[in-house]
Chain A
């Protein structure tokens, strides 16, 4: 069972929501749709499900054109951000509902419901009503409803957003394991790069209705095709610094420059945008040719046991991702070390023209 989108667009009231997306999803694959809010993730999923019709383009399932086939005649499941269950049916009946609608034999229904409930660890609550459960358990029930029938496509529309951090991690792990053994196509929309990385599989990056890049998650992370993908696919976003490449050196401004290393020598002289990941800038030098930068602290943002340090020099702002909790005074002067070997370079159009050598090998 494969799903192919050919040149799919959706225009609503003159506004383009999805712009010529080409996408091919293989059976048994786990696909993450990564994009900011309003990037078109939900719209794309609705098109895949058959809830909406594309304005242009074709949708193929196993090579068969299903563009006009309504959702009722397709075999799909969907899990939403909200916990959608039938409020006055028990958890058992909720999970059983898709099977009952398919007129399945009662014994088989019972076997499947119990099996799926056990898999999602909600089997002790089968007699309860959804509202008597915690948020995590309600969402597990909704997931069980989606998983219990053998759908060819299962769509997850930001299913973990409304859960707390711990539950999110837990469910994310389980979800990945649940799909290992299945031969259906899973599509998972999220705004969080960390979630995409944790889920693995493939990642498709969406921005303003356009598909920017699609590929194995790690590859998209290490080899972003353009600046938007690079920015979107890291938390905190990759630092972008404008600079100029000349015959022998890279210049950020009159005072900050370094000699071209072997790594960057392939770049033709001109203006570039240089990207450096927040986790690659350090407080101590990691190699001899790290560029020392005197900066002032704007803010030390502590998140869990990590610190996002926002700093600036007269020409640009940077964010550092440091492990551990670090306290800094605002306006404190410190030195940071800029890794000249771990730079991405983007051209004037935002296309990536250079990625660090180590990343290329992976």
Chain B
């Protein structure tokens, strides 16, 4: 008979990761699950309510509106940032001092803390002292992001485009640098147009970095909180109240921990679902080719 020696030492090597994940993700998540099925009055008085909070949250029209707003927002900024980022990457110089200078200039917005970005745009857009706001009023446009929902939207979108287009641009820039020079040379010999070079050489080679860029930007924008919080506080009314802000209002503003916990879980599942759908679709598209 063969003697099977089991060696379980490997489990010890996995232990640190397991502990970190437990404390950083699993335990907090279980706490939220715990809240979401109970009605808590004080540390000693609590009632099990089952799916009550989930029902309430799913039927809440505020959540529906915030969700709709959130999708609209995410798709708007993706529709602007992706093409714009590609254009910026194509225009950035590739050699010499200009290249490093351009890289630094493009990367600056990424280095600014999110609440500072909000503050910058809050001042930038003010009609009395802000560069952008004052400029708009001086050319006769009635612009006020604090009172007009359209203006508020415009400002929030502009802010995100300013803040995050550089990420797409840098990703594309690195993707473009990875294309060997001979491809361009071959295209010149083939007498291919600039558009053909982009369509048949650059774009196919950018697909992979763009998938990453779009996924990152989608998830990030879907969870956006700090910048609109600082800039508009979700207003005017609730016109720029996105999901996370809605959640914070409920959890911290009103201290409705039960519904807020249910909301968090739904929110989490939505992000997971959308990303999964997105990723599988793109991967299938790639396979079909």
Contacts and interface: CB of A to CB of B under 8 A. Distances in A.
Nearest to B196: A101
Contact of A88 (B182, B183, B185, B289): B289
Given A80-B182, A88-B204, A89-B200, A101 B191 contact: yes
Contacts of B200: 86, 88-89, 97
Contacts of B183: 84
Contacts of B180: 82, 84
Contact of A129 (B185, B189, B205, B289): B289
B205 A72 contact: no
A84 B182 contact: yes
A80 B188 contact: no
B189 A87 contact: no
A84 B186 contact: yes
B201 A78 contact: no
Interface string A120-157: 00000000010000000000000001000000000000
Given A86-B200, A101-B190, A78 B185 contact: yes
Nearest to A101: B191
Contact of B189 (A49, A82, A86, A89): A49
Contacts of B182: 80, 82, 84
A76 B180 CA distance: 20
B271 interface: no
Contact of A101 (B186, B192, B289): B192
A80 B190 CA distance: 13
Nearest to B203: A88
A77 interface: yes
Contacts, number: 43
B207 to A, nearest CB: 8
B205 A76 contact: no
A72 B188 contact: yes
Contact of A51 (B188, B190, B192): B188
Nearest to B200: A86
Given A84-B183, A86-B200, A89-B200, A97 B289 contact: no
Contact of B185 (A51, A98, A102): A51
A49 B185 CA distance: 10
Contacts of A97: 190, 192, 200
Interface string B190-210: 111000100011001100000
**Ranked 4 nearest A-B pairs via Cβ:** A88-B204, A86-B200, A84-B186, A87-B204
17 contacts: A49-B189, A51-B185, A71-B188, A72-B188, A77-B189, A78-B189, A82-B180, A82-B182, A84-B183, A86-B200, A86-B204, A87-B204, A87-B205, A89-B200, A97-B190, A101-B190, A145-B190
Given A84-B183, A97-B200, 13 more contacts: A51-B185, A71-B189, A72-B191, A78-B185, A86-B204, A87-B201, A87-B205, A88-B200, A89-B200, A97-B192, A101-B191, A101-B196, A145-B190
